[in-house]
Structure 1
Amino acid sequence: MNAHAIRRAYAKNLHDNGASVALISKTLGHSDLSSTVFYLDLDVEEVAKDLRGYL
């Protein structure tokens, strides 16, 4: 277990409990949502669907 694994587990836990990708991105300090999508190993279509809910 290393710091990266803990950080990734924290991010996945947030996502699994309903946090938006945008919120997780801010929490992790990512400057680009694509970094967070890659970090969480999410499908781009899934992210697009989540974001559409805010429009």
Structure 2
Amino acid sequence: MKNFNRKELFTNVETLMSQYCNGCLLHQHFKEEGGRRFAHRFCISQCTVGEKLQEYGKKLI
């Protein structure tokens, strides 16, 4: 991935979240079935969008 400045990284994160995360049916389903923590853990550890968000987060440090 090319080098981004902070503003570009935040823009990319916001774009990803608005496209894929807001209204995600998997997150909603897991939240109902296993609870909020279970759904959040899925998003962080198994969702491809969550993995991409983590990459962006590591570049912000």
Give the structure-1-normalised TM-score: 0.31
Structure of higher CA gyration radius: 2
Q: Which has the higher contact order (CA 8 A, sep 6+)?
A: 2
Give the TM-score taking structure 2 as reference length.
0.30
Q: Which has the higher helix share?
A: 2
